[in-house]
A and B are shown apart, each in its own frame.
Chain A
Amino acid sequence: MSENRSNILTVERLCMRFGGLTAIDDLSFAAPARQITSIIGPNGAGKTTLFNCITGFYRPSAGSIGLAHPSRGELMLEMLPSHRVARDANVLRTFQNTRLFPKMTVLENLVVAQHNALQAASAFSLAGLLKLGRYLRAEKLAIEQSMSWLARLNLVGFANTAAGDLPYGTQRRVEIGRALCANPILLCLDEPAAGLNPRESAELNELLLQLTRERGISVLLIEHDMSVVMKVSDHIVVLNYGRKIAEGTPLVVQNDPNVIKAYLGEEEPVEEPI
């Protein structure tokens, strides 16, 4: 990677230990702005743990995670609690097992994501209780923004459906839409293609490319589906046992002997039959 390209996220010497287990071990990498950075690696490599550190759900044992926020300057994400990572640093995430609000409608899910803006407009509910114009305008705006994302994701027809009643693949799209409603500058997607059929997966690729190229959102992607990873990634970081074993463009990573070894195993030692 060239030195002068601007990075949105800089992870330095990050360690995350749970008792005696080291889930992330001295990890350093940078994610370029307005591009798609994929984090790949075998199961248990520490990918989701990394997401939890970035989004404030875990406090790292050591190291730092710097975010170059366009309007707030450099933010140290490892110091912020999770809701402030989302609210103040505009880093939004989705979850490996989707976490929608199942009994609420799709539209409500997306409006909840705009809670902070709406809550400010409702002046701690006073303006809302009195139905003042400024709150009603803000609410209308929030609905419009939600509907425009739903339109982009082909979900308009589901706006009034309870999120829990939707098929799995659709729920994943709703979750991405919900994160987008919270105005992310960095979007962390944890296996968004899991459970999607090939067509949905192709649509996801297109969406990710559009988000980065046209909306200037940076994406951090955990994914096992290599057809997605290799097609859309600008930059790939490969983890194994919490350590970075390779980093670079898809082409570089694909041919890296360490990566091949981690995924396929070495030849000489006797492999345990599975």
Chain B
Amino acid sequence: MRAAIHAQHPVTVGERLRDAGWIAFVAFILGIPMIGLVTVDVGGKLVVHTRMPLLVAFVVASFVIRLVLRFVIEQLKRRKAERLARAPQRQTAARSLLKPLGWLLASAALVLPLVFSGNRYVVDTATTVLIYVMLGWGLNVVVGLAGLLDLGYVAFYAVGAYTYALLSTQFGWGFWESLPVAGGLAAFFGLALGWPTLRLRGDYLAIVTLGFGEIIRIILVNWTELSGGPNGIDSIPRPSFFGLPFKAPSDGGAQTFAGFFGLDYSPGHRVVFLYYLILVLALATNLFVSRLRKLPVGRAWEAIREDEIACKALGINVVNVKLSAFALGAMLGGLAGVFFAARQGFISPDSFVFSESATILAIVVLGGMGSQLGVVLASLVLVLLPEIGRDFAQYRMLLFGTAMILIMVWRPGGLLSRREPTLTAPAGTKAEAKP
């Protein structure tokens, strides 16, 4: 490793300048229409003006930034390579930190609403983070473990949400009765998507799943009798606390949550309740998926991701394994959808657009494919960054994009890319490795 570093020829100043010069040239070409020219309204007539000083500043800035950025990145890379060469044992230390980190996050999640009980915004944002965590964990089964690139995951989220919305508004079903039905229906849709796409892999599968996601959304927009079309479905009943609704006490009315516990009514109760509800759902999802991963099914999912042909040669029924991944992933998405509908009280096809699928996929990829804790960290990054960026108004998405690029440069395999084995050899059998 170290030899490789020294063998690399050092980048000369001339090369750096030439490289930055190219970037400045490209910036100049792009800058002419984007910055150099501007239309000005002169007496009801559009006139083209030039902004030469601004263009020059842009080109110079590009030159300098490229020069500095490249130097910094090279230094960082070199230092990282040296560190790896020097201390490979540090990696194991990092691994042992992950478990405490997971527990720390879980306990922080548990006490968060108590600490911020008066701050509705924080609890609401945390609830959104948890929805994405749950969706990420669900998609992780399909993409991270089974390696099936799914760009239409939001379809299952929509199926779950609309199932609950329709069951509750049309038939008066409650949240808890609807949950298994919606999960089952989403799983069925997962099978419906999985069955025809069994032979597809990679890009081709991605295209079909993308289409599937759009089909569901377009059906929801156009099938007005069922889904209310673009107007969506409103006044979806909110979940109650074991039959106790979160309402202001009304005289002679039914018992409410606040009344039952002798508390003063506060709309914050429901917010906190919803937060804990999604926390329980998400933690159950995590327990379920991480347990499954260590079972034969989970190992078969990963084996299929690694080499499908080898799986066939070992007697594994690839069809069943893939379908189970699709169905389970879809079911978890559906459950998250039920919660989403119950939380919002109103859903419309606008909530289930492609960019949602892309965000969930980004969470899985950014977290590190297959890593459960990675999904949590990535959800925090992806939900909190745009929130923090609110102060920057129109530069918000620019900031967001830059952060994403930097993270992927820094950690190409995702935030937590190391895979935990599902089994380890029993102790005492550690013989000397003989190559």
Name A's B-contacting residues (CB within 8 A): 55-57, 81-88, 92-93, 95, 99-105, 107-108, 111-113, 115-116, 118-119, 122, 125, 128-129, 139, 143, 147, 151, 154, 156-162, 167, 170, 178-179, 182
How long is the Cα–Cα vector from A162 to B425 in the complex, in angstroms?
A: 13
CB of A104 within 8 A of CB of B434, answer no
Contacts of B122 in A (CB 8 A): none
Q: Considering only CB atoms, which chain A residue lies closest to B291 in the complex?
A: A129
Q: Considering only CB atoms, which chain A residue lies closest to B308 in the complex?
A: A99
Nearest first, the 8 closest Cβ-Cβ pairs linking A and B are A157-B433, A86-B315, A87-B315, A159-B425, A101-B306, A99-B310, A128-B295, A118-B296
B158 to A: closest C-beta gap in Å:
27
8 A-B pairs (CB sep. < 8 Å): A83-B311, A86-B314, A102-B307, A108-B422, A111-B299, A128-B295, A128-B297, A157-B431
CB of B315 within 8 A of CB of A116, answer yes
CB of A99 within 8 A of CB of B307, answer yes
CB of B296 within 8 A of CB of A147, answer no
Q: Give chain B's interface residue range (CB within 8 Å of chain A).
A: 35 or more
CB of B296 within 8 A of CB of A100, answer no
CB of B314 within 8 A of CB of A147, answer no
CB of B316 within 8 A of CB of A125, answer no
CB of A129 within 8 A of CB of B425, answer no
CB of A107 within 8 A of CB of B299, answer no
* Known A93-B313, A107-B421, A125-B295; 15 more pairs at CB < 8 Å: A57-B312, A95-B309, A101-B306, A103-B306, A105-B424, A116-B316, A122-B296, A129-B295, A143-B426, A147-B425, A147-B429, A151-B431, A157-B431, A157-B432, A160-B424
Number of residue pairs spanning A and B whose beta carbons lie under 8 angstroms apart: 138
CB of A82 within 8 A of CB of B313, answer yes
Which parts of B35-94 form the interface with A (CB within 8 Å)? Answer: none
CB of B434 within 8 A of CB of A108, answer no
CB of B292 within 8 A of CB of A103, answer no
Which parts of B293-332 form the interface with A (CB within 8 Å)? Answer: 295-297, 299-300, 302-303, 306-307, 309-318
Given A83-B317, A118-B296, A182-B315, does the pair A158, B429 have CB atoms closer than 8 Å?
no
B262 sits at the interface (CB 8 A): no
Contacts of B303 in A (CB 8 A): 101, 104, 112, 115
Which parts of B376-435 form the interface with A (CB within 8 Å)? Answer: 419, 421-426, 429-435
Contacts of A178 in B (CB 8 A): 314
Contacts of A118 in B (CB 8 A): 296
CB of B423 within 8 A of CB of A108, answer yes
B201 to A: closest C-beta gap in Å:
15
How long is the Cα–Cα vector from A108 to B300 in the complex, in angstroms?
A: 10
Partner of B313, one of A55, A125, A160: A55
Contacts of B431 in A (CB 8 A): 151, 156-157
Partner of B434, one of A103, A129, A154, A160: A154
B88 to A: closest C-beta gap in Å:
12
How long is the Cα–Cα vector from A24 to B43 in the complex, in angstroms?
A: 84
How long is the Cα–Cα vector from A154 to B433 in the complex, in angstroms?
A: 8
Partner of B292, one of A93, A99, A129: A129
CB of B299 within 8 A of CB of A112, answer yes
CB of B421 within 8 A of CB of A104, answer yes
B9 to A: closest C-beta gap in Å:
29
Contacts of A170 in B (CB 8 A): 435
CB of B423 within 8 A of CB of A115, answer no
Contacts of B300 in A (CB 8 A): 112, 115, 119
Given A122-B295, A156-B429, A157-B432, does the pair A113, B314 have CB atoms closer than 8 Å?
yes
Contacts of A116 in B (CB 8 A): 315-316
Partner of A128, one of B296, B310, B424, B435: B296
Most A Cβ at <10 Å: residue of B302, B311, B425, B435: B425
Contacts of A179 in B (CB 8 A): 313-314
Contacts of A95 in B (CB 8 A): 309-310, 313
Partner of A115, one of B291, B316, B430: B316
Contacts of B307 in A (CB 8 A): 99-102
Partner of A119, one of B292, B297, B310: B297
CB of B316 within 8 A of CB of A92, answer no
B4 to A: closest C-beta gap in Å:
18
CB of A182 within 8 A of CB of B425, answer no
Contacts of A104 in B (CB 8 A): 299, 302-303, 306, 419, 421
CB of A157 within 8 A of CB of B318, answer no
Partner of B430, one of A57, A157, A167: A157
Q: Considering only CB atoms, which chain B residue lies closest to A87 in the complex?
A: B315
Given A83-B315, A99-B309, A103-B419, does the pair A160, B425 have CB atoms closer than 8 Å?
yes
Q: Considering only CB atoms, which chain B residue lies closest to A99 in the complex?
A: B310
How long is the Cα–Cα vector from A118 to B294 in the complex, in angstroms?
A: 12
Contacts of B312 in A (CB 8 A): 56-57, 81-83, 86
How long is the Cα–Cα vector from A119 to B303 in the complex, in angstroms?
A: 14
CB of A101 within 8 A of CB of B302, answer yes
Partner of B423, one of A81, A88, A102, A107: A107
Q: Considering only CB atoms, which chain B residue lies closest to A114 in the complex?
A: B296
B325 to A: closest C-beta gap in Å:
12
Most B Cβ at <10 Å: residue of A85, A87, A159, A179: A159
Contacts of A154 in B (CB 8 A): 434
Contacts of A85 in B (CB 8 A): 315
How long is the Cα–Cα vector from A151 to B311 in the complex, in angstroms?
A: 23
CB of A112 within 8 A of CB of B314, answer yes
Q: Considering only CB atoms, which chain A residue lies closest to B432 in the complex?
A: A157
How long is the Cα–Cα vector from A73 to B309 in the complex, in angstroms?
A: 27
CB of A115 within 8 A of CB of B421, answer no
Contacts of A159 in B (CB 8 A): 424-425, 429
B315 to A: closest C-beta gap in Å:
3
Contacts of A84 in B (CB 8 A): 315
Given A105-B421, A112-B314, A116-B315, does the pair A125, B430 have CB atoms closer than 8 Å?
no
B294 to A: closest C-beta gap in Å:
8
B302 to A: closest C-beta gap in Å:
6
Contacts of A156 in B (CB 8 A): 425, 429-431
Contacts of B433 in A (CB 8 A): 157-158, 161
CB of B419 within 8 A of CB of A167, answer no
How long is the Cα–Cα vector from A204 to B155 in the complex, in angstroms?
A: 52
Given A115-B296, A157-B434, does the pair A99, B425 have CB atoms closer than 8 Å?
no
Partner of A111, one of B316, B423, B430: B423
Given A157-B433, A167-B435, does the pair A119, B426 have CB atoms closer than 8 Å?
no
